[in-house]
Amino acid sequence: MKRIALFMYYLFAQNLPSSFIPGGRLFNSIRVGTLRLVFPLGKKCKIQRKVYFGSGREVSVGNNCQINENVSLVNVKIGNFVMIAPGVTILGRMHNHENKNVPMVLQGQKETKQGIIENDVWIGTNAIIMPSVKISEGCIIAAGAVVTKDCESYGVYAGVPAKRIKSR
């Protein structure tokens, strides 16, 4: 059943119009309903068009979350009241690259811990969150930031690599 639901999501539901247009609440309900058959998804979530989800066992989303267009989520647990702007990528895996005598593409992937996005987090447009990173409660991640390390609660992070620039 999960495979069929995921197939229906990628074939049909992810391509429905945004929830911002007239009738958009219906399109969001179809997307969310289809995704709930695959993985844990909280109440009152808005999932916009063209969001890529890793397999169901490695992605979960809390209540009252907003996930915008062209977002990629892999191996991440998302808390409640999280806003993810368009174009955000949350990576869940890394390639092995230690053996110089074997092409990297043939070395497989490293096992990584699940990334964690805690409650009340805002991730700006086109930010990249590297695997195994924890973004603590109340953080803001600036547009275009590349987060390579865990973030402390209520910090505002920006840059490449992202650094704490102030507190909320």
Q: Which of 43, 44, 95, 113 is catalytic?
A: 95
Known catalytic residue: 95?
A: yes
| Strand bridging mode 94-95 / 109-110 | antiparallel
Nearest residue to 134 (alpha-carbon basis) of 147, 148, 117 = 117
Residue 43 burial by Cβ neighbours in a 10 Å radius (0-12, 13-18, 19+): exposed
The catalytic site residues sit at 95
